[in-house]
Amino acid sequence: MAPLGLGSSFREVNGVMMGNPPPSYRDNTYRKHVPRRRLQMSSRRMMNKTIMGMQTFTAKRTMRLSVQQIPNAPMATYLATPDRVVGLCFPQGRGRRVDDNSQPHDAKYEVRMLPQAFLFLNFEPVVGVRATSTVNEDLTHANLTMGSEQFRIDGLPPELRSLNDDVNFVFEGGLTATVPTAAAGTSAPCSLDGTARLSIRADVPPMLQMVPGMAQAAEQALEAVLERLQQQLIREVAGDYRRFAAAQQRQQQAAAKKLESATHQKG
């Protein structure tokens, strides 16, 4: 039977009020028949969505440089082993090789990025990076790629250390050297094109979700990391390439003297 004061089209079915209430629905007679269970379930779903909400933060960078090539050491040979470029991007021992060095063109590193200050947190990201290089036969094209394989965050407070299990961190970088085929082995300019992308996808704790501007601050922090990497590479790559070429020239001269000496001894 319909409660007192409600129209006949508004009735109770299995404990739930069905139909259209009359204008008197604003009184307490109607309100006390609204099923509380349904309201409670809706509130719980909203709470779980807030607690378990995934958020993604991304930053990207591109660059182009022109470096004068040195004939006895083409830029392609410089990129053939990743150690020097990784050392430029992560100086002062922050890029430590962790494999057995058996594959010079395919290397793994533990990279400790610079300590970060984000909101009220101070922490240090540590990334496992794999770097591989490919070079064509005429040394006019080389490609060095870097990608993250592992990730952890050092320095988190105890209540946030579970983030190490919940964060999906992606680092992708590439550096490509190109020289016109007709200019192979000459001092022609070499074009260096670089790309880098950082992305973090994580279950953000409620205490951080409530911080105003949290998403913007996270993306600015990623942008700052890429900015430092880019500026470090731009500032250092030409000079390091010249040092590499000079070392190559010394090795070639030493090898030539050794061969000459061996020839004289046979004569």
Per residue in 212-251, pLDDT tens? 777 788 888 889 889 988 999 999 999 999 999 999 888 8
Per residue in 113-129, pLDDT tens? 887 776 677 888 899 99
Rounded to whole angstroms, how far apart are CA atoms 148 and 110? 10
Residue 34 lies in a domain: no
Rounded to whole angstroms, how far apart are CA atoms 167 and 162? 9
Q: What is the pLDDT of residue 51?
A: 41
Strand partners, 203: 54
Residue 5 lies in a domain: no
- Helix or strand (DSSP H, E) at 219: helix 214-266
Residue 26 lies in a domain: no
CATH of the domain at 164: 3.30.530.20
Q: Using alpha carbons only, how large is the chain's radius of gyration in Å?
A: 31
Q: What is the mean pLDDT of residues 170-182?
A: 90
3-state secondary structure of 247: helix
DSSP state of 117: E
- Residue 221's domain comprises 49-258
- Please work out, in degrees rounded to the nearest 5, the angle formed at the alpha carbon of residue 125 by the alpha carbons of 122 and 129: 170
Residue 29 lies in a domain: no
- pLDDT, greater one: 266 or 130: 130
Residue 41 lies in a domain: no
Name the token pair of 125: 């990201």
Residue 12 lies in a domain: no
Q: What is the mean pLDDT of residues 126-152?
A: 93
Domain count, the chain: 1
Rounded to whole angstroms, how far apart are CA atoms 67 and 70? 9
Q: What is the pLDDT of residue 52?
A: 46
Per residue in 45-57, pLDDT tens? 333 333 446 788 8
Q: What is the pLDDT of residue 1?
A: 46
- pLDDT, greater one: 250 or 184: 250
Least confident of 140-149, 185-194, 211-220: 211-220
Residue 182 lies in a domain: yes
Residue 102 lies in a domain: yes
